[in-house]
Amino acid sequence: MIDLHAHILPGLDDGPASLDESLAMCEIAANDGIHAIVATPHTGNGVYNNHKDSIISSLSILQNEIEKAQLPIVLYPGTDVHANVDIIDMLDEGRAMTVNDNGRYVMIEIPDQTVPPNFEEWLFGMRLKGITPILTHPERNVAIRSDIDLLAKIVNMGVLVQVTAMGITGHFGDAAERASREMLDRGLVHVIATDAHSSNGRPPVLSAARDAAASLVGEEEAWRLVQTNPRSILEGQSVEISNKSQKKSGFMNKLLWRKRAV
């Protein structure tokens, strides 16, 4: 399995404080069947501002320790970027990173209570630049889980969605679990990731959520969410969208086509 969203680099955000803790998280991940992890420290949220250089440096140190410990884990760089109007500039200036630095996908988090004003315009701007946003943990957003159609509208713009493993298994409460399962049932989920922060309270475990998802959408689709789609994203390839979710609007398709033709 591939974990596309994990706060696993030591001392960069509210994830592990030490290299030993990071290594313990990697051991848990390996034992769970995870073989690749995208390290996604928070950035641009007013508390943490992690530059590409520091992320690459920290990742290299941890990867070296992983190899010393002979764990079958490969790390890839990325960021969990707080939604803001300057995301494109942040990427250009190295204040944020796309997944695996491939210029194709970027993890975007929004506040737990609201959807920011003009959020759709920001997403639209990124799509026109050839970058596909991946909305992280919308099951924890009060506005979205009270009206899943809001998320469907965002997906129809070509945005991908990542739900959290512990949300599906109920560790973030009944409301998040219900929302996660409705999103899965409606074909609005493209990735399941751990959003791990520690080796105890929020560990990097995917298997339980994969099994829970399989009971809702079937084994093939569950594996797509933890293996096939994350691999495509890592490699900068297109992701297959569920037939349950509506296709992009004609207006969006026309604008994206014009952009490619310029």
Residue type, 163: V
pLDDT at residue 150, rounded to an integer:
95
Q: Are 193 and 180 in contact (CB under 8 A)?
A: no
Both structure tokens of 217: 């959408």
Both structure tokens of 35: 């073989």
CATH code for the domain in which residue 156 is found: 3.20.20.140
d(CA 155, CA 12): 30
Both structure tokens of 190: 């493209």
d(CA 51, CA 192): 26
Both structure tokens of 218: 């079937």
Number of Cβ within 10 Å of residue 218's Cβ equals 11
Residue type, 66: I
pLDDT at residue 240, rounded to an integer:
78
Strand partners, 39: 6, 77
pLDDT at residue 241, rounded to an integer:
76
Structural domain span for residue 193: 2-261
Total-model pTM: 0.91
* Structural domain count of the chain: 1
pLDDT at residue 242, rounded to an integer:
67
Residue type, 262: V
Residues 6+ away with beta carbon under 8 Å from 151? 135, 138, 144, 161, 183, 188
Backbone phi and psi for residue 46, each to the nearest 5 degrees, phi listed first:
85, -10
Strand partners, 81: 43, 108
Continuous H helices in the chain: 19-32, 52-68, 87-92, 119-128, 142-145, 148-155, 165-168, 174-185, 207-217, 219-223, 229-234, 250-261
User: Which portions of the chain are predicted below pLDDT 70?
Assistant: 242-262
For 85-108, give the DSSP string. Answer: TTHHHHHHTTSS--GGG-SSEEEE
Taking CA atoms, 115 is separated from 17, 47, 135, 147, 181, in Å, by 30, 19, 11, 12, 20
* Closest of 57, 128, 116, 113 to residue 81, by C-alpha: 116
